[in-house]
Amino acid sequence: MLDIKFIRENLDVVKMAAQKKKIVVDLDRLVSLDDKRRELMSSLEKKRAQQNKASGEIAQAGSDEERQAMIAQMSELKTILQAEEEKFKPLMEEWKALMLQVPQVPDMTVPDGDSDEDNQEVKVWGEQTKFDFEPKDHVEIMTNLGMADFERGTKVHGFRGYYLTGDGARLCWAIWNYANTFFGAKDFVPLLGPSIVRKSNLFGTGHLPNEAEDVYHTQDEDYLIGTSEISTMGYYSDEVLDKAQLPIKYLAFSPCYRREAGSHGKDTKGLVRVHEFFKVEQVVLCEASHEESVQHHEWLNRNTEEFIESLGIPYHTVLNCGGDLGQGQVKKYDIELWVPLEKKYREISSASYFHDFQTRRFNTRYKDEDGKLRYAHSLNCTAIPTPRILVSLIENFQQADGSVRIPEVLQGYMGGRSVIEVMKETE
């Protein structure tokens, strides 16, 4: 959420931001509503002050007649006050709804564009894998190796259901444990938080109201998170931090749930777009400084690049265009892994910074050197999601006999094994 004062003073800039992000919001209506809001708030404050003053005068009235006259005047004032309060309620509801739609202003380096097809490649690492045999996709390989069971997953869960079995499950545990070691060496504090949260937390991160159709929720109006960023950001809601605590760096792990409502007909096979998965997430709170946010953003994204490089999977990094930025994001990088059978790169990680867009909604502040309260800045970046990473890992490291090489850094977490072997047929 942006400060209404900033919106009013920089209306043309905010309009350009909405246009660049392809977000439709009536900013002129918002300013008009804000004028009425301010006018009504001023009127209400004056009448409440008059009401308080009258209460004191009634108590000091010299006669019963004088007291009754004052009570009549106060009753009339109360009626007017109640009418204005009733008028104020729907105005505030519309004002708040519009405020929640206002986008963060993107960084000047964010390119124009309508969708992810317009993102700009800024880095390529590793050579695209080539084979001297006929390669298979991850679904066939994992099924043959007893690493996954998609048929039974569909039977139990429905569309996009899956089981990871045997070495498929072991490989995910290996990745989680390696990620904990790798990112733990970078001074992150491990965090396991709630996966079921109050609705307000999704408004805080900006996932609501814009992504409502993609979010699971319960009959009690609790919500299942699609990323541990949500519960992690809620950790310090309505709190005032000490500047000395900053930057705060969490490595959060959680199950995640997404309905994939907008992806009908896309990626219907395998592990690319599943409804439930696990994710390790980097989350940072820092001082309210653009320069510091930029520094942390580059660092977070580079952390994940280094992690992917240590696994030996080819990737490229793209700078997201305006049309592929979320409402609250100032700037975002996506890391995409090479998928040999599709002959394309697929997203595995996003690194974003928000300035005070999220912390203003969560009311997460800190005291600066002068004792002034300021909203912290927030950032997040995917460390690694499972099982999606298995798509690229399995396909890039497959061998002619159907086995899969295990990246060297994971072998210690796989009992020292270097290969996932083809299952032997039972007699």
d(CA 94, CA 96): 5
Q: Please give the C-alpha separations between residue 61 and each of 48, 52, 76, 291, in angstroms, as whole numbers.
A: 20, 15, 18, 62
49 token code pair? 């002050």
Contact, 335 vs 305, CB < 8 A?
Answer: yes
Quote the tokens at residue 131: 């084979």
CB 73 within 8 A of CB 54: yes
Q: How far apart are CA 317 and CA 162, in angstroms?
A: 29
Diameter of the chain measured on Cα atoms: 108
Mapped onto helix, strand or coil, the DSSP state of residue 349 is: strand
388 assigned to active site: yes
Based on the residue annotation, tell me whether 258 is a catalytic residue of this protein.
yes
- Active site residue: 258, 360, 365, 374, which one? 258
**Burial bucket for residue 203 (CB in 10 Å: 0-12, 13-18, 19+):** middle
Q: How many CA atoms lie within 13 A of 406 on its CB side?
A: 22
Concatenated DSSP letters of 237-282: TT-EEEGGGPSEEEEEEEEEE---GGGTTSS-STTSS-SEEEEEEE
Catalytic residue among 352, 388, 392, 395: 388
163 phi/psi in degrees, rounded to 5: -120, 140
Torsion angle, alpha carbons of 116, 119, 121, 124, to 10: -20
- Tell me the C-alpha distance between 186 and 336, whole Å: 22
Specify whether 273 is catalytic. yes
- CA–chain centroid gap for 356, Å, is 14
HEC sequence for 378-395:
EEEEEEEEECHHHHHHHH
Q: Which of 350, 352, 378, 392 is catalytic?
A: 350
Two tokens, residue 374: 């300021």
- Catalytic pick among 67, 347, 405, 417: 347
Catalytic annotation, pick one of 273, 302, 346, 417: 273
Residue tagged 């940072």 (tokens): 284
Indicate which residues carry an active-site annotation.
Answer: 258, 273, 347, 350, 388
